[in-house]
Structure 1
Amino acid sequence: MKKLHTFFALLLCLGFSSILTAQEEKITPPAQGKAVIYLVRTSSAGSIINFKYFDGETYLGKFNGRKVFRYECDPGKHIFWARSENVDYVEAELKADAIYLLEVKASFGFVKAAVKFNTVDYSDKRQMKRIFRIFKKKELIDLNTHELVDESEKIYEDKTKEADKKIKNGLEKIAKKKQKGRKVKKITPEMVYKKQ
C-alpha cells in the first residue's frame, strides 16, 4: 500500500513538472534594461465579460476569457489596474531584466463579473498549476504589439477626452481605496519569477 502511495505521489510530481517545463518555454525574458510582467487570467467565471487593463494612465487592452498577456515595460514603479464592474489594482516596483507573474481572476459582481488581482506565490503549487494550465492551453497575447480592434478601444488609442475621463475615474477609485486604508497588493522587486 505504501508503494502505491509513493507511486501516485511520484506520478503527480512528474505530471506537474512536465506542465511546468513545457509552459516555461513561453515565458521569455525582456529586452535588456526592461522588465516584463505576465498577466494570467485563470478563472473561467464571467468569461464573456471583458476586463480593461492599464499601466497607470496607459491603456493596455480589453480582453475576456482565460488568457495570458505579456507586457514589457520600463523598470521602476507602476500601478497595474483593471476595470470591469469594479476596479482592482496592484502596486509594482519592477527591476530591470526581470520577469514577474500576476494572476487575474474573475469573481461574481452585482451586475457583471468583478476583476481581482492576486500576487503570485511561486511556492504555491496549486496556484502555479492554475497559471501554467493557461500558458499551456491559451495563446500568448503581447500587449506591446497587440492592435486595438474594438471600436470602443479607439478612444484610448486616439487619447480622447472620454478616455482621459475614464482613466482619471479609475485612478480616483484607486486613490479612494488607499485612503480608506484597504490593504494594498504589491509586487516587490524581489518577487521575480525564476525559471526552474
Structure 2
Amino acid sequence: MRKHLYVLPLLLLSMHAAMAQGMKEAPADKALVYFLRPSGLGALINFSFFDSAQVIGRFNGEKYMLYECAPGPHIFWARSENKSFISGHLEAGKVYFIEAQPQMGGIKAGVELVQVDPADSKRMTRLLKFINKRKPRTFTQEELTELSTDLEDVLRRGMKELQSMRSNGDIIPVIDNNKHIVVPAPATL
C-alpha cells in the first residue's frame, strides 16, 4: 500500500509535465503572464486587457493570450462592463496565470481578474488542457496601436479609476509570487 502512495504524486507530476508541453517557458530576464478566458459565458463580449496605461490585447470567447513583460511592479486590468484590477511585483523567469472570469452584468458580461494557484491541480489540469487545445491570441504592433486609439477614452477613465481607488485606500488584489510555475526547458536529445 505504501508503494502506491509514493507512485500517485509521481504520476500526477508526470501528468502535469506532459500536459504542460504546450506551455511556453518564460525568458530568464522576463516574466510571462497567461491571460486566460476558459469560460464561454458572455462569449460575444470583448474583454480588453491593460498593463497600467498600456493596451496589451482584447478578445472575446474562449481564448487566451501570452504577455511577456519586464520583471517588477505591474498593475493589470481588464475592462468589459466594469473594470477589474490586480497588481503585483513579477519576477523574472516565472510564469503566472490570470483568469478573466466573466461575471453577470447589467447590460453585458462583466469581468474579474483572478490569479490561478498552480497548486490547485484540478483547476490547473483543466487550464492546461485548455491551453494545449488552442493557439494563443496574438497581436501585431499595428493592432495594438489601433486598439490604443480605439480605447483611448477607456484607458484614461481606467487610470483615473485606479488613482481614485488608491486615494480612497481601496484594496486591489495582489499577485502572489508563490503562485507561479517555472516551465522546464524542453529536453534536448
- Whether these two folds match at TM > 0.5 is yes
Asked if the contact 1:102/1:120 (under 8 Å) is kept, the reply is yes
1:34 equivalent in structure 2: 30
Asked if the contact 1:22/1:136 (under 8 Å) is kept, the reply is no
Runs of 5+ consecutive residues of structure 2 not aligned to the other structure: 185-189
Tell me how far apart the structure 2 counterparts of residues 146 and 166 of structure 1 sit (CA, whole Å): 19
Query: Aligned-pair distance for 1:164?
Result: 3.7
Asked if the contact 2:26/2:183 (under 8 Å) is kept, the reply is no
Note if 1:48 corresponds to 2:40. Answer: no
Query: Aligned-pair distance for 1:38?
Result: 0.8
Letter of the structure 2 residue corresponding to residue 71 of structure 1:
Y
User: Which of 69, 83, 90 is the equivalent residue of 1:73?
Assistant: 69
Letter of the structure 2 residue corresponding to residue 32 of structure 1:
A
Query: Aligned-pair distance for 1:63?
Result: 0.2
Query: Aligned-pair distance for 1:136?
Result: 2.5
1:187 equivalent in structure 2: 175
Tell me how far apart the structure 2 counterparts of residues 167 and 103 of structure 1 sit (CA, whole Å): 21
2:187 equivalent in structure 1: none
Query: Aligned-pair distance for 1:180?
Result: 4.8
2:157 equivalent in structure 1: 169
Equivalent residue of 1:126, what SS?
helix
Query: Aligned-pair distance for 1:146?
Result: 6.9
1:3 equivalent in structure 2: none
Letter of the structure 1 residue corresponding to residue 146 of structure 2:
K
TM alignment of 1:102-181, pairs within 5 A: 102-142=98-138, 145=140, 148=143, 154=146, 156=148, 160=149, 163-181=151-169
Tell me how far apart the structure 2 counterparts of residues 21 and 147 of structure 1 sit (CA, whole Å): 36
Tell me how far apart the structure 2 counterparts of residues 14 and 85 of structure 1 sit (CA, whole Å): 43
Tell me how far apart the structure 2 counterparts of residues 130 and 111 of structure 1 sit (CA, whole Å): 29
Query: Aligned-pair distance for 1:141?
Result: 2.5
Tell me how far apart the structure 2 counterparts of residues 63 and 91 of structure 1 sit (CA, whole Å): 21
Identify which range, 97-106 or 84-93, moves more after superposition: 97-106
Tell me how far apart the structure 1 counterparts of residues 111 and 37 of structure 2 sit (CA, whole Å): 10
Aligned-residue Cα RMSD (Å) equals 2.8
Identify which range, 79-88 or 131-140, moves more after superposition: 131-140
Query: Aligned-pair distance for 1:30?
Result: 2.5
Going from structure 1 to structure 2, the CA distance change for 1:142 and 1:175 (only over 3 Å counts) comes to same
Query: Aligned-pair distance for 1:119?
Result: 1.1
Going from structure 1 to structure 2, the CA distance change for 1:88 and 1:102 (only over 3 Å counts) comes to same
TM-score, normalising length from structure 1? 0.77
TM-score, normalising length from structure 2? 0.79
Query: Aligned-pair distance for 1:32?
Result: 3.1
Equivalent residue of 1:148, what SS?
helix
Letter of the structure 1 residue corresponding to residue 80 of structure 2:
S
